[in-house]
Amino acid sequence: MTPLEALKRYFGYDSFRPGQADIVDALLAGQDVLAVMPTGAGKSLCYQIPALLLPGVTLVVSPLISLMQDQVKALSTAGVPAAFINSTLTDRQIALALQRAAEGSYKIIYVAPERLETAVFRDFAAGAEISMVTVDEAHCISQWGQDFRPSYVKILDFVAGLPRRPILSAFTATATREVQEDIRCTLRLQNPKLLATGFDRPNLFFAVEHTRHKDDYVIQYLREHPGESGIIYCATRKNVDKLQQLLAQYGFAVTSYHAGLPAETRRKNQNDFIYDAAPVIVATNAFGMGIDKSNVRFVLHYNMPQSMENYYQEAGRAGRDGLPSQCVLLYSAQDVVINKFLLDRKDFAECEPEDAELLHQRDLQRLQTMERYCQTTDCLRNTILTYFGEHPTAPCGSCGNCSGDYEEADLTAEAKWIINCVAELRGRYGKAVVLGTLQGANRARLRELGADRMKSYGKLKGTPRETLDRLLAQLLNDGYLLQTKDQYAVLHLGDITPLQQGAQVLVKLPPRHEPEHTPAPKPKRSSMMDALTGAGLELFAQLRQLRFDIAQREGLPPYIIFGDKSLADMCLRAPQTQQDMLSIYGMGERKYEKYAAPFFAAISAYCAEHPGVALSLPSAQEQPAAPAEKPTKSGKAPKVDFYLTAEDAKEFNYQDSYSGAELKAALVEAASTPNVKAPTIKAIEEWLYHERLISMERFPKKGFYYVPTPAGVDAGLRSVDRVTASGMPYSVLDYTPDAQRLIVEHFIKMKPEENSST
């Protein structure tokens, strides 16, 4: 069997990833290896494939029990005979495992470093045919690293005591030169093949969100990513507890993890996360080492981490399966304050005073790096890669800053007007009144307050609302303005005196026109998921449930049965034959025998229930550039999202009050353009939510309804009280003419850019 055949047969993959084949070849040729590859790059296969093909057994030294158990489960489901030896086993179990190992029952044995020193293990090793010793997470051997494990140093003694020197291979994701040199020397690697793949993780999307409303952001994010698995990192245990409780109140299945929880609770919560019983976990940075969960779709940082090393390691836990995944850092100026505070209290008691000072300086520098990452308008991916010593050229085109296309604008003059307006209103009103005044809105409410007679009235009439929102956010962030925390969120002047002469307010904005001569960004990477239609996504959800049920029955983490990517591939190709099914991504022979049948059944049932349905469409990139009028399969011209022209807006039938459904009907009535999709009430409500004009109220058991925020009331939204069939009070939104106007204006803005050819 060749390495490629083994890759396909056991793991169901068609090709090696960058670097893997070189490592496998070197090991099979008997050469030592030291490989530095980022998290998720696929280090395990680099030693598992040779282990399968070499005679005898491979010992894998691994620092974490959970990690070993996970790997052994994954190998067993793939049909590779493997075992682990660690402190979770009784002496009897260990003796039994070693006896079977001596009989040659296993190709791979995972072992905790402490076990190597025990007499039983040494006895076993003396008589066994050990072809290779692999050191995973090899940076634990280095005293330079943060994760130094004294027992790792003993690996060398163990190897030296073997009757025949095995091939040695070491793997790590930590890149610094010192650590690499340490690994090499401590393990006495002989003329090793050194391999460091790039640090880029192309499937990760990086973004920084400047927001003071982190809770709202997280809630909204989870609503937009239902059923997805993710980690939310917080700086402190207190934040973890608070956020976890809040999210649970909102009905999300979240668990938590930090060092303050009892060991038993920690273990249970971690398992709930791994087994997708609670797909989202809120945690401090104590969580994550040894978590190889492959389908983590997002990592949110509720607070800014203390260093880029920490950030990349934590964020890197997203997307191990190679599917697009998001890493979003929520930033507020407060984070810097918290971190400085934490650093000032850090205890250097065990160091010499000079060293303590040096270490403190280094910590502050790391913090500054993170601060710059949060503030930069450059490509975020490149900022990270540059920090790790790479030299990327073109912007990546697929991080928050690249796709946001920010441009820094000097908005000092506008900032002064906002501050003046808040002063003129004597700090008694919220955002809607302040911005309405500055934009010269013709609202009864403003006339009633006398705002239309103020100096600032209409002074920023020409400035787009989005710009004002960003500017206001920044003024709040910078402390020029403050917002009360009660439900009215009144704006008033901050502790910092109004802008002094020469002070500048720079704000990141999306550009109004194409940037001139920036290098062309790399093309956006499309994914299997992007190609799935609504039906395809529905089937995906069904297969995911099926996987969950099987996993529950077998007591395995779901991703060990099939990764998300395998499920997506099944939806994409709707396999009909054994041949089709075996060519699915990640479908090894053993997995085919064990698990394929129910998936076959589910797919054909779905297709039978929905005859002729398209599960996927070619992704936008693969589609040839076509004229806008190209007919779709159904023979109709493609639909564009709903919008109104200025002419349509005049036709809109304003009424004293509209429900959501009535408003939708009136919008459709006013629109003159053919080929627009009807607007949905959901989309309207989501926009209002995003604008913070409405907020969510929770039903006691499940679900949400919306109520206007004070700003929403200002903008003309009302709530009408109702009662559910079971007697539960709730309310529905009602749109007065002011609110109707707001929605009409919103849809005018949704009009697509004119096409130059039309």
x/- map, 536-565, ligand ADP, by CB under 6 A: ---------------------------x--
**Region of 37-45, 254-262, 437-445, 541-549 interacting with ligand ADP (CB under 6 A):** 37-45
| Residue 154 binds ligand ADP, judged by CB under 6 A | no
Nearer to Mg ion, 43 or 317 (CB): 43
What minimum distance in Å lies between the beta carbon of 22 and ligand ADP? 13
What minimum distance in Å lies between the beta carbon of 359 and Mg ion? 29
Q: Is 465 exposed, middle or buried (0-12, 13-18, 19+ CB in 10 A)?
A: middle
The Cα–Cα gap between 204 and 316 comes to 8
Three-state SS sequence of 715-742: CCEEEEEEECCCCCEEEEEEECHHHHHH
Tokens for 196, please give them. 């460091």
Query: Binders of ligand ADP among 279-318, rule CB under 6 A?
Result: 292, 294
Q: Which of 8, 23, 32, 44 binds ligand ADP (CB under 6 A)?
A: 44
Q: How far is CA 653 from the centre of its chain?
A: 43
Task: Quote the strand ranges of 130-192, DSSP E.
Answer: 130-135, 167-172
What minimum distance in Å lies between the beta carbon of 136 and ligand ADP? 7
The Cα–Cα gap between 35 and 654 comes to 68
> Are 113 and 61 contacting, i.e. CB atoms less than 8 angstroms apart?
yes
What minimum distance in Å lies between the beta carbon of 39 and Mg ion? 7
Nearer to ligand ADP, 560 or 676 (CB): 560
| Residue 43 binds ligand ADP, judged by CB under 6 A | yes
What minimum distance in Å lies between the beta carbon of 149 and Mg ion? 16
Tokens for 539, please give them. 């089937």
What minimum distance in Å lies between the beta carbon of 299 and ligand ADP? 14
Nearer to Mg ion, 192 or 316 (CB): 316
Size, binding site for Mg ion by CB under 5 A: 1
What minimum distance in Å lies between the beta carbon of 44 and Mg ion? 5
CB nearest Mg ion: which residue? 43
Partner from Mg ion, ligand ADP, none binding residue 17, C-beta < 5-8 Å depending on class: ligand ADP
What minimum distance in Å lies between the beta carbon of 550 and Mg ion? 25
The Cα–Cα gap between 585 and 544 comes to 15
What minimum distance in Å lies between the beta carbon of 154 and ligand ADP? 23
Nearer to ligand ADP, 50 or 563 (CB): 563
DSSP symbol at 7: I
Nearer to Mg ion, 173 or 254 (CB): 173
What does the DSSP assignment read for 439-485? TT---HHHHHHTGGGSTTTTTTTTS-HHHHHHHHHHHHHHTSEEE-S
**Region of 10-18, 441-449, 669-677, 697-705 interacting with ligand ADP (CB under 6 A):** 10-18
Nearer to ligand ADP, 540 or 689 (CB): 540
Angle, alpha carbons 66-10-563 (nearest 5°): 55
- Listed in sequence order, the residues at least 6 apart from 566 whose beta carbon sits closer than 8 Å to its beta carbon are 12, 584, 585, 586, 587
CB nearest ligand ADP: which residue? 42
Q: How far is CA 166 from the centre of its chain?
A: 40
What does the DSSP assignment read for 230-244? EEEE-SSHHHHHHHH
| Residue 40 binds ligand ADP, judged by CB under 6 A | yes
Nearer to ligand ADP, 319 or 575 (CB): 319
Q: Are strands 82-85 and 33-36 parallel, antiparallel or unpaired?
A: unpaired
| Residue 17 binds ligand ADP, judged by CB under 6 A | yes
What minimum distance in Å lies between the beta carbon of 328 and ligand ADP? 21
Instruction: State the virtual CA torsion across 470, 473, 475, 477 in degrees, nearest 10.
Output: -130
Nearer to ligand ADP, 480 or 562 (CB): 562
Nearer to Mg ion, 43 or 266 (CB): 43
- Please name every residue paired with 532 in a beta bridge, in sequence order, or none if there are none: 616
Q: Which of 182, 272, 321, 734 binds ligand ADP (CB under 6 A)?
A: 321
Query: Binders of ligand ADP among 241-270, rule CB under 6 A?
Result: none
The Cα–Cα gap between 434 and 482 comes to 13
What does the DSSP assignment read for 572-603? HH---SHHHHHTSTT--HHHHHHHHHHHHHHH
Which helix (H) or strand (E) segment is 535 a member of?
helix 534-554
Partner from ligand ADP, Mg ion, none binding residue 141, C-beta < 5-8 Å depending on class: none
631 by DSSP, 3-state: which?
coil
Size, binding site for ligand ADP by CB under 6 A: 18
Nearer to ligand ADP, 68 or 235 (CB): 68
| Residue 16 binds ligand ADP, judged by CB under 6 A | yes
x/- map, 715-754, ligand ADP, by CB under 6 A: ----------------------------------------
Nearer to ligand ADP, 166 or 588 (CB): 588
Tokens for 425, please give them. 């209103």
What minimum distance in Å lies between the beta carbon of 61 and ligand ADP? 14
| Residue 320 binds ligand ADP, judged by CB under 6 A | yes
Three-state SS sequence of 598-616: HHHHHHHHHHHHCCCCCCE
> Are 254 and 247 contacting, i.e. CB atoms less than 8 angstroms apart?
yes
Q: Which of 24, 34, 35, 37 binds ligand ADP (CB under 6 A)?
A: 37
Task: Quote the strand ranges of 489-604, DSSP E.
Answer: 491-493, 506-509
Nearer to ligand ADP, 142 or 303 (CB): 142
Nearer to ligand ADP, 68 or 379 (CB): 68
**Region of 42-50, 51-59, 535-543, 740-748 interacting with Mg ion (CB under 5 A):** 42-50
| Residue 62 binds ligand ADP, judged by CB under 6 A | no
| Residue 569 binds ligand ADP, judged by CB under 6 A | no
What does the DSSP assignment read for 33-89? EEEE--TTS-HHHHHHHHHHHSSSEEEEE-S-HHHHHHHHHHHHHTT--EEEESTTS
Distances (CA, A) of 297 to 214, 358, 586, 715: 19, 38, 18, 36
Nearer to ligand ADP, 434 or 571 (CB): 571
Partner from Mg ion, ligand ADP, none binding residue 719, C-beta < 5-8 Å depending on class: none
Q: Which residues lie near Mg ion (CB under 5 A)?
A: 43
Residues in touch with ligand ADP (CB under 6 A): 13, 16-17, 20, 37, 39-45, 292, 294, 320-322, 563
